[in-house]
Amino acid sequence: MENQYIIDDLSVRNAWKLFRIMGEFVEGFDRLDKVKPAVTIFGSSRAKPEDSHYQKAYQIAYKLAKEGFSIITGGGPGIMEAANKGAADAGGESVGLHIELPLEQKANEYSNIKIRFHYFFVRKVMFIRYGMAYVIMPGGFGTLDELSEAVTLIQTKKIKPFPVILVDKSYWGGFIDWMKNVVLKKGMISEKDLEIIQIIDDPDEVVKVIKKVVII
């Protein structure tokens, strides 16, 4: 009987988790369906305002917002803050999809549309569903996770192709070289797969490439 109580308790907790997951999806879809075509910008939460990467993320977001794009980020500090600030300063929609973490990450103050998530996978669906292009600034594991997931979904034709732009050749060049010289040579990917990703350093060129593909 004791084991039965444990199983029943787990079933109840799992059912409530499902309701919470459904609730996050419903809120995300409901609020983001109203947002204009958006570009999602990723990058390190550790970048400081004086860092060149922070400043470039601000410029890119500002220029994209001036062209009529909404900007979506993870809603936290660093590159996310820079992008949200750029979009807000340009008078655009600045979306922050904030995640709850065990070590609390404070949401930045520059997103004028804020949604809080408990589940990473629900948040990832929102990034993919509403981002018409990905701009990937220098970052760590989280940034690499978002990059690889987008490339995988495009590679496997689970989603329609969209621009996946890495910013800063000095940062990403070694990664691309490894992909070409190791992963490609060992037959783990194809030449065509590498075409999914492009490296662009100039903010104006980033905007130009996105505008060619994404029609507002």
pLDDT digits (tens, 9 = 90+) for 25-36: 999 999 999 999
Largest pairwise CA distance in the chain:
67
18-171+199-213, CATH topology level? Rossmann fold (3.40.50)
How far is 18 from 6, CA to CA, in rounded Å? 18
- The end-to-end CA distance of the chain, in Å, is 61
Q: Which tens digit of pLDDT belongs to each residue from 58-88?
A: 999 999 999 999 999 999 999 999 999 999 9
* Domain residue ranges in the chain: 18-171+199-213
Please report the pLDDT score of residue 1 as a whole number: 47
Q: Which tens digit of pLDDT belongs to each residue from 150-199?
A: 999 999 999 999 999 999 999 999 999 999 999 999 999 999 999 999 99
Residue corresponding to tokens 């495009």: 154
